[in-house]
Amino acid sequence: MAPRILLARHGQTEWSLSGKHTGRTDIPLLDEGRRGAKLLGERLHRAPWDGLPDVEIRTSPLVRAKETCELAGFGGRAAEWDALMEWDYGAYEGMTPAEIKSGRPDWFIWRDGVPEGEALAELSARADEVVAWAKSADRDVMVFAHGHILRVIGSRWLGQDASFAARIRLDPTSLSILGWAYGEPAIERWNDTGHLA
């Protein structure tokens, strides 16, 4: 069976709740985010996943992703990987889209990028590194990371340009699975938050 990649977005933070761009600022989880991470872990430790005993796990080194991984019960098995860090938003770090658009009304992050930060092509290259690792694995893999990098990983898994990520949103503490259909990369599950209900 060809390997799949399971994607877990970190739990809710103060900035994700308010819509602020949270790139490299190391923000901890809110209580709601911690609760969601525990619920995700409970789900992944039940059938059909049964704790993912053979899955290789990596996490972003940023505290909100690492804490989600730990609370979900996978911290002792996860290796930190800088490729999974969130987009470096540069001058737009900590700003909401509305605040940015007050000075740039037509701004669209997936087209215009961010000043003094990481170019979309650089973000896409990091996502390609993750996709290449997952596709070369001899078993399923799982990552704990952030909304925008995970959306770009999804886009690149499908062979789409990074800007396709604008069309595949992700909620905090969601579970997604990228796999295969008819021998081609496919989305098996996307933005699943059933464990939070």
Query: What is the domain extent for residue 177?
Result: 5-196
Considering 10, 21, 146, 148, which one is annotated as catalytic?
A: 10
Per the annotation, binding residues for substrate are 22-23, 64
Selection from 135, 131, 133, 140 nearest residue 54 by Cα: 140
pLDDT band with cut points at 50, 70 and 90 for residue 2: confident
The pLDDT tens digits of the residues spanning 113-140 come to 999 999 999 999 999 999 999 999 999 9
Domain count for the chain: 1
pTM over 0.85: yes
- Angle, nearest 10°, between helix axes 63-71 and 31-44? 50
Which residue has 């992703």 as its token pair? 65
| Residue 93 known to be catalytic | no
Q: Do residues 90 and 25 make contact, with C-beta atoms less than 8 angstroms apart?
A: no
Per the annotation, binding residues are 22-23, 64
Selection from 36, 74, 70 nearest residue 52 by Cα: 74
Average pLDDT of the chain is 96
pLDDT at residue 1 greater than cutoff 60: no
pLDDT at residue 170 greater than cutoff 60: yes
CATH classification of the domain holding 103? 3.40.50.1240
| Residue 86 known to be catalytic | yes
Q: Do residues 36 and 12 make contact, with C-beta atoms less than 8 angstroms apart?
A: yes
